[in-house]
Structure 1
Amino acid sequence: MSQLRNIALTVHELEEGEFYWVLLEATDYVMEEALPYLPLDSASDPQATYANALVAGLAAIRRMYGKDGPRD
């Protein structure tokens, strides 16, 4: 089976009460004491709560990568 990709999900509150999910992917770039990530995808519409944005971000991962997760 192919190797699992390192994908992170975060939520940003850009305006008060407007929460957006963001997917980030780890890069091979080496930084001292840090693992750099680059944006992969993000919400175009806000969610009313942090929890809703988190669930919507997870749903985006499932749509993008299916039941086996993000693999090369």
Structure 2
Amino acid sequence: MSSLRNIALTVHELEAGEFYWVLMEGTDYTIEDVLPYLPIESSSDPYGTYANALVAGMAAMRRMFGPGGPRE
């Protein structure tokens, strides 16, 4: 079985009351013991609440990677 990719989901409030989900992937590069992440996908339209953006981001992750999760 292939290994899992290091995917993170976060939510950003770019304007007051406008929340966007962002999927990021961990890189192999380290900077002073920090694992940087690079964006791989994000919402183009804002959500009215943090919770709605978070749920939408999780749904996007499921659509992108399917039931087996993000495997290499």
> Structure 1-normalised TM-score?
0.97
CA RMSD after TM alignment: 0.5
Is 1:37 matched with 2:41?
no
Correspondence for 1:4: 4
Instruction: Write the letter of the residue equivalent to 1:51.
Output: A
Q: Secondary structure at the match of 1:28?
A: coil
Instruction: Please identify runs of 4+ aligned residues in structure 1 that moved more than 6 A.
Output: none
Q: How many residues align?
A: 72
Is 1:47 matched with 2:52?
no
Q: Secondary structure at the match of 1:51?
A: helix
Separation in 1 of the partners of 2:5 and 2:70? 5
Deviation readout 1:7-55 (Å, 9 max, x if unpaired): 0000000000000000000000121121100010000000000000000
Instruction: Write the letter of the residue equivalent to 1:69.
Output: G
Q: How does 1:16-27 map to 2 (within 5 A)?
A: 16-27=16-27
Is 1:13 matched with 2:41?
no
> Structure 2-normalised TM-score?
0.97
5+ residue gaps in structure 1? Answer: none
- Percent identical among aligned pairs is 74
